Amino acid sequence: MAASSSLRALILVFFLLPLLAEGITRHYKFNVAEKKFTRLCSTKSIATVNGQFPGPTLYAREGDTVLVKVVNHVHYNVTIHWHGVRQLRTGWADGPAYITQCPIQPGQNYVYNFTLTGQRGTLWWHAHISWLRATVHGAIVVLPKSNVPYPFPAPHKEVVLVLAEWWKSDTEAVINEALNSGLAPNVSDAHTINGHAGPLSGCSSSARDGFTLQVDKGKRYLLRIINAALNEDLFFKVAGHQLTVVEVDAAYTKPFTTDTLLLTPGQTTNVLLTARQGAGRYIVTASPFMDSPLVAVDNRTATATVQYANSVSTSAITTTKPPPQNATPVASSFTDSLRSLNSQQYPAKVPATVDHSLLFTVGLGVNPCATCANGSRVVADINNVSFVMPTTALLQAHYFNASGVFTDDFPGQPPIAFNYTGSGPRNLQTMSGTRLYRVPYNASVQLVLQDTGIIGPENHPIHLHGYNFFVVGRGVGNYDPKSSPSNFNLVDPIERNTIGVPSGGWTAIRFRADNPGVWFLHCHFEVHTTWGLKMAFVVDDGEGPNQSLLPPPNDLPSC
Ligand code: C2O
């Protein structure tokens, strides 16, 4: 008894007290290093942070400054991105390779230094170079300032659930092979929940491995769910339980209750789960959503277990049926239910007027390729521009006014208007270029993201760095500048940093360009980013004292 109460006191001193403080500086060290893991009955060496898969959770409070020293012990170049952290004036710490920084080379290190301003909730970090994020990723939990409660009933306990994909082979080899052949890369061999595929037929060891969430009857749990998968949208369900959504992408929502969540890669969702069942074991599922019949996905369902305290691991498990892979209505009904909380304390500051009105087509295309398997290669583009990564970082080129690295003539409208969502091939060879779109400080931007059906319609999870945006509208078919805006929600649209553009449809977002720097916009399907579905905004400094990009840190890596 005495031992356990003094242990509790120690836990309080070392773990809870620092969390009660705020506006403090938190130091983390991330060693990027190889480690062997056994999954799906086979062992392979993967790149990890601190030997963990998923990597360590970074805890902080709103207002804290976070310093993460990243040391590169692997033989790849590495960068880390703090997905959803706004990085106000600190673009140097954002992380996408060749956009805001040159990579950290093997044997080198870099300290990411940023402050969590005006944000609280679940975000995540991941490698932002090649396909390393497959295994180099983890959660960021930003707690509210001390004495500031959640705008929802306090949970008994909080649990991080990281959804991901697992390949039996090396993911760097998977994408390199695809780039050489010009064809689509192999799909993953399993989905995972907190690093485990769960009970899978044909591989008994993973049944023992599955993640288990222990619950007490009647208590309330906050699940912080992250889709860290490379290439797949995921449905999420817990058998026998309803989930109440309270936050997405570190922005509070109007609570709504559902039995199925949808998360695109890059998105996070916080839900409350009340342990309403008295006893037993209940399956948790993460399964793919893909409503384009042309696109192959890994159709395996990852599983985990919710286990009541009075049950044993051998008792029968209550199962649930994941939605069908092509369940567009389930996906749409989830997306359409999301609203910003828009309370007095957390207002939705939707730009009411628009300074820059942009229409970006997003999709795939085919370009000739003499050395490829079919004489052609799959490419991806925005407004017919397939983005070419520079060999030095864009943010440095911008800050130091270096010429010849990028141009700022990215087209704000599609170069040719056509029936975007119509099917069938077109004679539209994509251009390549390192072209950016320039925005003055504090301009309001409306960006309509229009899917194309050049190869076939497909949904695209588009992520914007440096900002949250409001999702003011969404529709099927082609966006109509005359009629579509009449249905926009400018009152309580969902605020987030990653949005799925529906298959054969469009999504309209708005944001205020109040963060100077160079900010990446890309599809969070890693394969589409690799193929060129990416661009960047360059946001100029303002005139005011706190409206300019800070100078680069001394240890910023060089290329
Ligand atoms: Cu989570 Cu640029 O990515």
Task: Tell me what the mean pLDDT of segment 517-546 comes to.
Answer: 97
How many angstroms separate the alpha carbon of residue 529 from the centre of ligand 1? 10
How many angstroms separate the alpha carbon of residue 128 from the centre of ligand 1? 7
What is the atom index within ligand 1 of the atom nearest the CA of 124?
Answer: 1
Across 52-70, b (16+ Cβ under 10 Å) vs e yields: ebbbbbbbbbbbbbbebeb
C-alpha 157/C-alpha 215 separation (Å) is 9
What is the atom index within ligand 1 of the atom nearest the CA of 522?
Answer: 2
Read off the pLDDT of residues 205-220 as tens digits, 9 standing for 90 and up: 544 568 999 999 999 9
How many angstroms separate the alpha carbon of residue 16 from the centre of ligand 1? 30
Is residue 204 over pLDDT 70? no
How many angstroms separate the alpha carbon of residue 47 from the centre of ligand 1? 18
Read off the pLDDT of residues 118-177 as tens digits, 9 standing for 90 and up: 999 999 999 999 999 999 999 999 999 999 999 999 999 999 999 999 999 999 999 999
Partners of 261 in beta bridges: 236
Is residue 202 over pLDDT 70? no
How many angstroms separate the alpha carbon of residue 527 from the centre of ligand 1? 13
Lowest mean pLDDT among 194-198, 311-315, 442-446, 468-472: 311-315
Q: Which residues line ligand 1 (CB under 6 A)?
A: 81, 83, 96, 126, 128, 266, 463, 465, 520, 522, 524
How many angstroms separate the alpha carbon of residue 101 from the centre of ligand 1? 14
Q: Is the C-alpha dihedral spanning 372, 373, 375, 376 positive or negative?
A: negative
How many angstroms separate the alpha carbon of residue 277 from the centre of ligand 1? 38
**Token pair 């680069």 is at which residue?**
552
C-alpha 318/C-alpha 239 separation (Å) is 6
Give 314's pLDDT tier (boundaries 50, 70, 90).
Answer: confident
pLDDT at 21: 56
Contact 246, 202 (CB under 8 A): no
DSSP letter (8 states) at residue 396: H
Closest-CA residue to 272 (of 293, 292, 252): 252
Task: Tell me what the mean pLDDT of segment 5-14 comes to.
Answer: 52
pLDDT at 207: 47
- Show Cβ contacts of residue 80 under 8 Å, excluding neighbours closer than 6 positions: 30, 49, 68, 70, 95, 112, 125, 126, 127, 128, 136
> Which tokens sit at 317?
């498990």
What is the atom index within ligand 1 of the atom nearest the CA of 96?
Answer: 2
| Residue nearest to ligand 1 atom 3, measured at CA | 83
How many angstroms separate the alpha carbon of residue 255 from the centre of ligand 1? 26
Is residue 10 over pLDDT 80? no
Mean pLDDT of all residues belonging to the chain? 93
What is the atom index within ligand 1 of the atom nearest the CA of 126?
Answer: 1
Contact 118, 87 (CB under 8 A): no
How many angstroms separate the alpha carbon of residue 73 from the centre of ligand 1? 22
How many angstroms separate the alpha carbon of residue 522 from the centre of ligand 1? 8
How many angstroms separate the alpha carbon of residue 80 from the centre of ligand 1? 10
Task: Tell me what the mean pLDDT of segment 15-44 comes to.
Answer: 83
C-alpha 289/C-alpha 324 separation (Å) is 8
Give 236's pLDDT tier (boundaries 50, 70, 90).
Answer: very high
How many angstroms separate the alpha carbon of residue 319 from the centre of ligand 1? 33
- Show Cβ contacts of residue 106 under 8 Å, excluding neighbours closer than 6 positions: 72, 73, 74, 75, 76, 77
Domains recognised in the chain with CATH numbers: 12-143 (2.60.40.420), 157-337 (2.60.40.420), 356-547 (2.60.40.420)
Is residue 451 over pLDDT 50? yes
What is the atom index within ligand 1 of the atom nearest the CA of 520?
Answer: 2
What is the atom index within ligand 1 of the atom nearest the CA of 83?
Answer: 1
How many angstroms separate the alpha carbon of residue 81 from the centre of ligand 1? 7
What is the atom index within ligand 1 of the atom nearest the CA of 95?
Answer: 2
Task: Tell me what the mean pLDDT of segment 11-36 comes to.
Answer: 76
Distances in Å between the Cα of 543 and the Cα atoms of 441, 516, 540, 547, 548 are: 9, 11, 10, 6, 8
pLDDT at 425: 53
Is residue 3 over pLDDT 50? no
pLDDT at 14: 52
C-alpha 257/C-alpha 244 separation (Å) is 4
pLDDT at 2: 41
Give 416's pLDDT tier (boundaries 50, 70, 90).
Answer: confident
What is the atom index within ligand 1 of the atom nearest the CA of 529?
Answer: 2
What is the atom index within ligand 1 of the atom nearest the CA of 265?
Answer: 1
What is the atom index within ligand 1 of the atom nearest the CA of 84?
Answer: 1
Helix (H) or strand (E) holding 398: helix 394-399
